[in-house]
Structures are given as C-alpha cells and as structure tokens.
Amino acid sequence: MLILGIDTSCDDTSAAIVEDGCRIVSNVVSSQNEIHTKYGGIVPELASRRHIEMIWPVVKETMDKAGTNFKDISAIAVTHGPGLIGSLLVGVCFAKSISYSQKIPMVAVNHLEGHMISIFLENTPEFPFIGLVVSGGHTSIYLVEGFGQYTEIGRTRDDAAGEAYDKVAKLLGFGYPGGPIIDKLASEGNPEAIAFPRSTLKESHDFSFSGLKTSVLNYTKKHPDAKKEDIAASFQEAVVDVLVNRVIEVAEIKGVKEVVLSGGVAANSGLRERISQITSEKGMKAYLPSLHLCTDNAAMVAAVGFHLFNRGEVANYSLNPRAYLPLGSADGQP
Ligand code: KG4
Ligand code: ZN
C-alpha cells in the first residue's frame, strides 16, 4: 500500500511516497535554510510563501522519482499540526485539493507522531519503548506502548533543545539552523571549559533550557574573547547531560530497556555518542534514525498515515491546521 506524505509544518517543504508504512520509495525535502539564515531564525511569513511556491514541484518530484501516479496512491497523509499555522495551512489545503480532485482518502497526521515513529522506516524497536522527541519546536519524553499509544512523561517548560541551539548560535554570530553549526564547533572545543548549569526540575521529568541559554548569553558578555569552540562544546555538554540523564531515569522508572530518539537534535553527534554509550553500559538499547530522518521529512508522515488509514481514521474536508496539537495523553505520575 502506497501513501503520499506531505509535511509543511515549519520551514521545509517535503513530500514522500512510503510503502506499507516502512519502506521509503521516495522522499524529497526542499530546505528553506538559505532564506532564513540571515535572520538567525525562521520568519513565518517567508516560510509560508516559499511553501506555496514549492509544494507542487516537491510533490511532483517525489511522484516522478517513485514512478507513481495518483491512481497508485491509497491515501494522502498530511501534517495538520503542531507547527507554524501559515506553513501548515499550505500543506493541508494542498492535500485537500488533491484528495478531492483525485478521490483519494486523506489522513491527518500529528508531526510529533511522525518524528516518534520515524525509526520504523529503518528499524523495528519493540514496544514498549521510551521515545525522546527533541527538535526545534519540541522536547518531550513519551512512553510508547504501540502505534498511536503515547503517554507524555515530561516536556520542556520553556525553550525546546533545538531552539536553545538556534538561539546560542545566533548570539555567537552564526546563522540558522544553529544546531549543526554548534555541533561542528563543539567537536573542536573543550566540553569542560565552562560549567554551564544543568537544570533539574524536582518532582517532574520536565526540561528547561532557557536558563542555560541565558547563562551562555551572560558568559559571552562577560568574556567577549572566550573561544567560541569552548562555549559551543560546554553548552552542548550541558544539553546532552540533561537529555540523556532524563531519558535513562525515565526508562529505569518505567522498567523499559529500549529508547528511541527522534527530531532534528537527535542528529547531534554528542547526543548520539553519549546515549549509545550509556545504554550499552546499562544493558539497554538506543535506536537512532539516520540524520536525514531526524530532521523534518514527509516519509515519517506517510509512515504514520499508513497506520491511521489502516485503523480507518480518515479525515474530512473540515480539517484545519492546528499550531498547538499535543500528542497522546499526559502522565500525572513523575
Ligand atoms: O525536527 P526539525 O527538523 O524541525 C522541527 O520540527 O523543529 O528540527 C530542527 C532543529 C533545529 O533547531 C536545528 O538547529 C536542530 O534541529 N538540529 C540540531 C542538529 N541538526 C539539527 N541540533 C543539534 N545538533 C545537530 N546536529
Ligand atoms: Zn519536526
């Protein structure tokens, strides 16, 4: 069964064809980095305009690469949230038009669920597992008991980890996205040079990254000649410490041996190395998607769409995008 996935949640226009929820036939991502880099962050209005220009060429390219026609597609899976409302609107309107004109059912996908199950495009972790979705907009830990069965155990109370990376890169004078730039710089610096704070919120499994970001800002003001490599490495060390400690803590409390990372920050080399090392020391297993499946892509959306379609969860034409769209139920128990 072939599903056409469409994702325009943020600043990348993406379309993909995925077979049976796990085999990527084609996956095209048109990045907008060159548009936003000079602003040090995403400009929402520019993002939506670019999506309008790119949506049809990107869908056409993915169909051509896959050698498919609309008549071969069983369902269209489109991200309807969370994300930038203007960006989401482009994907949702496009999906509705294709669905209506070509008489193809449409399913509405939560972008976070896409990240969460992106690993199934390459691997097959066993349920239940602990899923960490760590991106530019979100940082949350879930207990995942099956497709569509997510309990949120902890989330960020302020900035997402990726957002902290982007803001730190901006204050160090670099462009957007900051994550890959800081990651590379960190490999040339000393992670112990500066003791940035690790926020540990008691009585919860939540995260907080805004204090760390402010601390980097204050440090750079006080030490204008400090090596940027050391600032990057010490900042990254703090982020990785917090993320990895939380994931392991939650996995141990829940008695779960497998952890799955996803989202743009899961591409971080320091995070990948540390989680792999600690899980292997503890007899656990870490699953990490390939780098191009960590960042936004429509293949993960098509994968979720396969499961929704099989469960009969088809959307109708009153579907609207939603900037805020939580995933799963919340866990009241720390
Ligand atoms: O998942 P994603 O493509 O979009 C959202 O859904 O937010 O994640 C983008 C985020 C950006 O904040 C970017 O700076 C960050 O992921 N990122 C990284 C790395 N690559 C991308 N952060 C740290 N290290 C990286 N290598
Ligand atoms: Zn994302």
On the question of a cis peptide bond just before residue 82, with omega within 30 degrees of 0, the verdict is yes
Ligand 1 center from residue 100 Cα (angstroms): 34
Residues 39, 3 contacting (CB under 8 angstroms): no
Residues 181 and 205 in one domain: yes
Mutation choice for ligand 1 from 7, 110, 265, CB with most ligand atoms inside 8 A: 265
Position 237 in a domain:
yes
Q: For 290, list phi and psi in degrees, rounded to 5.
A: -60, 155
Position 158 in a domain:
yes
Q: Is ligand 1 within 6 A of the CB of residue 166?
A: yes
Q: Is ligand 1 within 6 A of the CB of residue 296?
A: yes
Ligand 1 center from residue 106 Cα (angstroms): 28
Position 155 in a domain:
yes
Residues 231 and 302 in one domain: no
Residues 159 and 267 in one domain: yes
For residue 267, give the ligand 1 atom closest to its CA.
26
Segments forming the whole domain that contains residue 311: 2-116+294-330
Mutation choice for ligand 1 from 112, 295, 296, 327, CB with most ligand atoms inside 8 A: 295
User: What is the predicted pLDDT for the residue at 203?
Assistant: 86
Q: Is ligand 1 within 6 A of the CB of residue 179?
A: yes
Residues 195 and 272 in one domain: yes
User: What is the predicted pLDDT for the residue at 332?
Assistant: 58
Position 121 in a domain:
no
Within 10 A of 213 (CB to CB), how many other CB atoms are there? 21
Q: Which ligand is nearest to the CA of 289?
A: 1
Residues 31 and 152 in one domain: no
Domain count, the chain: 2
Q: Which ligand is nearest to the CA of 301?
A: 2
Residues 141 and 241 in one domain: yes
Residues 218 and 141 in one domain: yes
Ligand 2 center from residue 229 Cα (angstroms): 27
Residues 271 and 226 in one domain: yes
Start-to-end Cα distance in the chain: 40
Distance, in Å, from the CA atom of 44 to the CA atom of 137, rounded to the nearest integer, reads 13
> pLDDT tens digits, the chain, 334 residues: what are they?
999 999 999 999 999 999 999 999 999 999 999 999 989 889 999 999 999 999 999 999 999 999 999 999 999 999 999 999 999 999 999 999 999 999 999 999 999 999 999 999 999 999 999 999 999 999 999 999 999 999 999 999 999 999 999 999 999 999 999 999 999 999 999 999 999 999 888 889 999 999 999 999 999 999 999 999 999 999 999 999 999 999 999 999 999 999 999 999 999 999 999 999 999 999 999 999 999 999 999 999 999 999 999 999 999 999 999 999 999 887 755 4
Ligand 2 center from residue 96 Cα (angstroms): 22
Q: Is ligand 1 within 6 A of the CB of residue 263?
A: yes
Q: Is ligand 1 within 6 A of the CB of residue 152?
A: no
Ligand 2 center from residue 8 Cα (angstroms): 10
Residues 106 and 209 in one domain: no
pTM of the model: 0.96
Position 29 in a domain:
yes
Distance, in Å, from the CA atom of 206 to the CA atom of 202, rounded to the nearest integer, reads 9
Within 10 A of 158 (CB to CB), how many other CB atoms are there? 16
Position 52 in a domain:
yes
Distance, in Å, from the CA atom of 293 to the CA atom of 296, rounded to the nearest integer, reads 7
Position 209 in a domain:
yes
Position 6 in a domain:
yes
Residues 14 and 38 in one domain: yes
Q: For 175, list phi and psi in degrees, rounded to 5.
A: -90, -165
Residues 233 and 309 in one domain: no
Q: Is ligand 1 within 6 A of the CB of residue 113?
A: no
231: domain CATH number is 3.30.420.40
Residues 267 and 306 in one domain: no
